[in-house]
Structure 1
């Protein structure tokens, strides 16, 4: 597993230990992330729907890489909901043509999302500026508006409020305390984005929840990002703010572009070519599946460097609107 280029950078980002506690470890891979096991207290379990965007080339299955059976069950339920709402013909799967996706997306009403931004910090560490928060919101608007290339997904974000919480324990281990701080800080309803910035150890950049989990865990709904991945942050190759773009994609119902690999229905979007493996870095080209089309290395839902990411597809935009209709409208 390849870590960041400079070990000193990672060390600089590790917060000082809260008084009476040991410093959080700088883990070298996803194996260090807590899973579903109990840590001895009910607040120590992350939500079952959490996922993480990795910044190394060791890409194990994370909690948003659904198994084919899990994805099939989710899609069957989504289709039933949309059919019940009279939204039949809700989009082609992998391997079917999506010629009407662009026209369908152009007809879709704009989705306007209020954002409650929660800064979790330890003194000066992670206490990001208001200007940095505004840049992150602007980056998301540009990403989902097609401003960097690709489709205009017709999704926009408006900063509603900012909260700041100085808590060294939460900042030092946000996964452990997620069940504590989210219920206390969460604002709004199912159509409101709660975006948390904090320190995340190891090789992780953020995690999210899927929209179909909202009903069972409404206060856990939202997106968490590493504060240093925000625009102008200090994580090399991952500091243009696209970790938030990626995680919000999951919050809106998108899968990774490499979901299901080369087989099955993939990410349920016809215009993202099948991809066997996540992308590392920013290769000039990559083609890991025998089906037509090179890997979508520039897509926000891959694992490429921020400098490589530029776009969503019309099919992804259409899926966002379908899932929004089913779960967040």
Structure 2
């Protein structure tokens, strides 16, 4: 998810530098400071939502085509079969779903990005609250702090993730950085070939106590963790029958911006699931995962992380 930026510059109190103002975003997390004295406004559009979450592509993960979606389904079923689990029972397989969490705070040499232990604890509490209905428990194992300006700005991300990542496939690594995105995630089916960088990168100002209007309640990490568990966006594939491969999330033509009640972007059954954590709504708009998403996440956990 990438920030939508205006051309305005506003002095950021307490940071001692000039920061780009971020406005008009509509996705589950953003990081930037808006100076209330600035008369800058970007229209609150669906394009802005996509830009906030994933840059020009509108994605906060690598692109997945419909053909690859089907290939992943076949791969997942093969993985489950190899473990003696059928595709149907894989959704409810009794596997341990305790998730050890390692948080990597990437601060720069001036100390920017150095979130507090309390903010990290509050973020993990948000994850536990949001995923409680899915049967996941997130346990904070440790917080590592690094003073490296390049890493803070998410430069050489492949390298810094590889040298700092902790734990195995079940371990959620969260790197807190300052970049033009709200968050970026890896998928569970990529762990076998990209395990060294498995995890989520999150804009540090999107944690609880951050200062991004509409995106500082910790729901960016919830959204990205959904991807880490194998969930697609609710608008994956647009207005198609394949969509996000979850039956109880209505098809959605485009990402949501804000929290527009009754939005219906697709002629297929149902209104847009604007309150779903896998849309691009405001943090305050989020409130649910569905049973279908729970079943898919459990299947992916069993196949790739158990």
Do the aligned residues in 2 keep the contact of 1:120 with 1:170 (CA within 8 Å)? yes
Cα pair distance change 1:214/1:25, threshold 3 Å? farther
Taking the aligned partners of 2:170 and 2:230, their CA distance within structure 1 comes to: 13
Do the aligned residues in 1 keep the contact of 2:7 with 2:20 (CA within 8 Å)? no
Cα pair distance change 1:156/1:294, threshold 3 Å? same
Residue by residue over 1:163-191, the C-alpha shift from the partner in whole angstroms, topping out at 9 and shown as x without a partner, is 0001112112x0x3112211111111111
Structure 2 counterpart SS, 1:321: helix
Q: Could you say which residue in structure 1 is the equivalent of 2:190?
A: 213
Cα pair distance change 1:26/1:213, threshold 3 Å? farther
Q: Could you say which residue in structure 2 is the equivalent of 1:80?
A: 78
Do the aligned residues in 1 keep the contact of 2:5 with 2:21 (CA within 8 Å)? no
Report deviation, 1:285: 1.6
Taking the aligned partners of 2:95 and 2:50, their CA distance within structure 1 comes to: 29
Of 223, 228, 240, which aligns to 1:263? 240
| Superposition map of 1:275-294 within 5 A | 275-294=252-271
Q: Give the aligned length.
A: 278
Report deviation, 1:5: 8.2
Do the aligned residues in 2 keep the contact of 1:53 with 1:206 (CA within 8 Å)? no
Q: Could you say which residue in structure 2 is the equivalent of 1:112?
A: 98
Cα pair distance change 1:228/1:25, threshold 3 Å? closer
The yes-or-no answer on 1:60 pairing with 2:61 is: no
Taking the aligned partners of 1:88 and 1:57, their CA distance within structure 2 comes to: 35
Cα pair distance change 1:277/1:221, threshold 3 Å? same
Taking the aligned partners of 1:181 and 1:240, their CA distance within structure 2 comes to: 26
Of 169, 179, 184, which aligns to 2:163? 184
Cα pair distance change 1:251/1:54, threshold 3 Å? farther
Report deviation, 1:85: 3.0
Do the aligned residues in 1 keep the contact of 2:12 with 2:19 (CA within 8 Å)? no
| Superposition map of 1:1-329 within 5 A | 3=4, 7-8=8-9, 12=12, 54-55=51-52, 60-62=57-59, 63-90=61-88, 111-122=97-108, 123-145=110-132, 152-172=133-153, 174=154, 176-201=155-180, 204-329=181-306
Taking the aligned partners of 1:2 and 1:84, their CA distance within structure 2 comes to: 42
Structure 2 counterpart SS, 1:219: helix
Q: CA RMSD in A?
A: 3.2
- Per mean C-alpha deviation after superposition, the further-off stretch among 68-77 and 78-87 is 78-87
Do the aligned residues in 1 keep the contact of 2:161 with 2:196 (CA within 8 Å)? yes
Cα pair distance change 1:214/1:291, threshold 3 Å? same
Do the aligned residues in 1 keep the contact of 2:126 with 2:219 (CA within 8 Å)? yes
Q: Which blocks of at least 5 consecutive residues in structure 2 are unaligned?
A: 24-48
Q: Which blocks of at least 5 consecutive residues in structure 1 are unaligned?
A: 18-22, 29-51, 92-100, 146-151
Do the aligned residues in 2 keep the contact of 1:253 with 1:323 (CA within 8 Å)? yes
Taking the aligned partners of 1:53 and 1:130, their CA distance within structure 2 comes to: 31
Structure 1 counterpart SS, 2:192: coil
Structure 2 counterpart SS, 1:299: coil
Taking the aligned partners of 1:163 and 1:194, their CA distance within structure 2 comes to: 11
Structure 2 counterpart SS, 1:318: helix
Do the aligned residues in 2 keep the contact of 1:54 with 1:303 (CA within 8 Å)? no
TM-score (norm 2): 0.81
